[in-house]
Amino acid sequence: MNMIDPFGRTISYLRVSVTDRCDFRCVYCMAEDMAFLPKKDLLTLEELDRLCTVFIEKGVRKLRLTGGEPLVRKNIMHLVRELSRHLKSGALEELTLTTNGSQLARFAGELADCGVRRINVSLDTLDADKFHSITRWGHLDKVMAGIDAAQAAGLEVKLNAVALKGFNDVEIPQMLRWAHGRGMDLTLIETMPMGEIEADRTDQYLPLSLVRAELERSFTLNDIAYKTGGPARYVEVAETGGRLGFITPMTHNFCESCNRVRLTCTGTLYMCLGQEDAADLRAPLRASEGNELVSNAIDEAIGRKPKGHDFIIDRRSSRPAVARHMSVTGG
C-alpha cells in the first residue's frame, strides 16, 4: 500500500524529529535562549514507534531520525532497537539519522548493531575556534571522536555543511579534500529562513551556484545521477574521486520530486518543510488503541501535501518564511 499525494508523488520517506532539544545552539538554527517543549507534549518512545510503524505499513521505506539532536533524547536507543525490527522484516529499507556528532562516540557501535548503515553528521567548519563560536556550546574534538567511532563501527558517514557567507566559504575546498580523504561524501546546504534568530540571514546567505562556480576554479565537477532519496543533487569531484552534494532550497528548489513528510516529536505532521500547513496525529493516536483513526488522519494530510515551498530571503522580507525553528521540524 502506497501513499500518493495530489501531484502523483509517492511518499516513501519519513523524517522524525524525536526531540526539539539540542546540546548545541548553532547561530543560524536557534536562538541561544531557547524555550523547549514541556515533556507532556512529547510523544513517548512507544508512541513514536507506533506512529512510525503505521507509516511503514502505509509504504514508508526510508526512516530518518532527526532533532534537535536525536541522540540527546533519553533512552533513544530503545526506539532505534524497536524500529530495527522493520529492517529485519524487510518492510523498511533504511533506518538512518542526522546528528551533530557530539554523542556519536557513545552510540556508534549500538547504532551499527541495530542495522543503521549510514548517518549524516552536521559539520560546518574544521576550525575548532570557529566551531565553538558557531555552535556556541560545541567542541570539535568531541565531534571528531564521534566520526572516528562511527567509521570504526562500519557506519558510512556523510557530512552536511551549511554554506555561510563570511564564515566557512573559504574553507569549503579544505573540507571537501578532508571529507573525501576519509571516504565521506560532503553535502553543502543553503541557509533556510526558519525561525527567529539573532543574526540577519541576508548577511549569512550564500547561493550555492556561487560556491560551485568558485570550486570549479580548482576542481572538476561532473554531474552524476546518484541519489540518496533526499533532495541533494550530486557531482563527482575528479581530483578526489569523492561525491559532493548541493541542497538548494533557495536558488533551485527540488519540490517536483519530493517524496518526504516530516513528523515532529509532538506528533505534528508537516507535509512540507517550507509551509505552515500541518496535521495533528497525536490526538487520533491517543484517542484509540487501534490505528484506524491515525491512519485516516495521515491519508487526509497526504491529500493536502502542497506542490512546493515558499522560501525567500531578501532585504524586503526580513521575517522568516516559517516561524518555527528547524529544530522543531527536524533537519
pLDDT bracket for residue 277 (50, 70, 90): confident
C-alpha cell at 199: 543574526
pLDDT: which is higher, 40 or 71: 71
Percentage helix, strand, coil, to 5, in the chain?
A: 35, 20, 45
Q: What is the pLDDT of residue 326?
A: 52
- How are beta strands 278-280 and 268-270 bridged, if at all? antiparallel
Q: What is the pLDDT of residue 317?
A: 45
d(CA 326, CA 193): 9
Q: What is the pLDDT of residue 248?
A: 83
Share of the chain above pLDDT 70, in %: 88
Q: What is the pLDDT of residue 22?
A: 92
- How are beta strands 260-263 and 278-280 bridged, if at all? unpaired
Cβ neighbours, 10 Å, residue 192: 24
Looking at residue 234, what DSSP letter applies?
E
Looking at residue 149, what DSSP letter applies?
H
Task: Give me the CATH topology for the region 3-329.
Answer: TIM Barrel (3.20.20)
pLDDT in tens, 79-104: 999 999 999 999 999 999 999 999 99
pTM over 0.85: yes
In 3D space, the residue among 195, 221, 199 whose CA is nearest the CA of residue 208 turns out to be 221
Is 318's pLDDT higher than 80?
A: no
pLDDT bracket for residue 314 (50, 70, 90): very low
Three-state SS at 26:
coil
What letter represents residue 22's amino acid?
C
| Cβ atoms 155, 118 nearer than 8 A | yes
pLDDT bracket for residue 251 (50, 70, 90): low
Q: Where are the alpha helices (DSSP H) in 184-290?
A: 201-204, 208-215, 282-287
C-alpha cell at 241: 574521486
Q: What is the pLDDT of residue 205?
A: 79
pLDDT: which is higher, 32 or 161: 161
**Binding site members for GTP:** 15, 64, 98, 158, 260-262
∠ Cα 314 317 318 (to 5°): 90
| Cβ atoms 269, 262 nearer than 8 A | yes
Low-confidence winner among 115-124, 134-143, 244-253 (lowest mean pLDDT): 244-253
Is 266's pLDDT higher than 90?
A: yes
Q: What is the pLDDT of residue 254?
A: 62
Mean pLDDT of all residues in the chain?
Answer: 89
Q: If you average pLDDT over residues 272-284, what whole number do you get?
A: 87
| Cβ atoms 17, 64 nearer than 8 A | no
Q: What is the pLDDT of residue 195?
A: 52
Is 319's pLDDT higher than 90?
A: no
pLDDT in tens, 146-197: 999 999 999 999 999 999 999 999 999 999 999 999 999 999 998 765 455 5
**Binding site members:** 15, 22, 26, 28-29, 64, 68, 98, 122, 158, 192, 255, 258, 260-262, 272
Residue count of the chain: 331
| Cβ atoms 280, 268 nearer than 8 A | yes
**Binding site members for [4Fe-4S] cluster:** 22, 26, 29, 255, 258, 272
What letter represents residue 298's amino acid?
I
Q: What is the pLDDT of residue 154?
A: 98
**Binding site members for S-adenosyl-L-methionine:** 28, 68, 122, 192
C-alpha cell at 85: 525490527
